[in-house]
Amino acid sequence: MVQSNILCKNEKLSDEQYGLYDTRIKNRNLLSTYLVGRIEYSDELVEGGVYHKGDILLKVLFLGISYEYSCFGDVRVVKTYCKNGSIVDYNKPILLMERMEI
């Protein structure tokens, strides 16, 4: 039987547009969206890049409205699951992030 790496939703760091999930992988969180729309990563976002609290990592465009996601703390982007400019579906993973101790 295959076990999911997602443990639970982090209610403190999630909102109506984005969900942040704790994973079995130490210090790593999975970001997903509750929107269906076009994803646009910030120009600086790259896998392996380090970002700080308040940095805008991406936005999802939905019905002409832009929903930004700001970083919850110091993180390193481990993996991007969507291509820039592609359509992201409801509750699909967007980013895998590692919490940094800086």
Q: Is residue 16 included in any domain, yes or no?
A: yes
Question: Position 10: which residue type?
Answer: N
Tokens of 77: 């982007």
- What is the residue-level pLDDT of the chain in tens, covering all 102 positions? 567 788 888 888 888 889 999 999 889 999 999 999 999 999 989 999 999 999 999 999 999 999 999 999 999 999 999 999 999 999 999 999 999 875
Domains: count for the chain: 1
Q: Give Cα separations from 98 to 7, 53, 76 (angstroms).
A: 15, 13, 5
Query: 26 lies in which domain range?
Result: 6-99
Specify the pLDDT at position 23: 93
CATH of the domain at 57: 2.40.50.100
Phi, psi angle pair for 13, to nearest 5°: -105, 5
Q: Is residue 1 included in any domain, yes or no?
A: no
Q: Is residue 26 included in any domain, yes or no?
A: yes
> Distance between CA atoms of 15 and 10, rounded to whole angstroms?
10
Question: Position 26: which residue type?
Answer: K
Specify the pLDDT at position 88: 95
pTM of this prediction?
0.87
**Does residue 61 sit in helix, strand or coil?**
strand
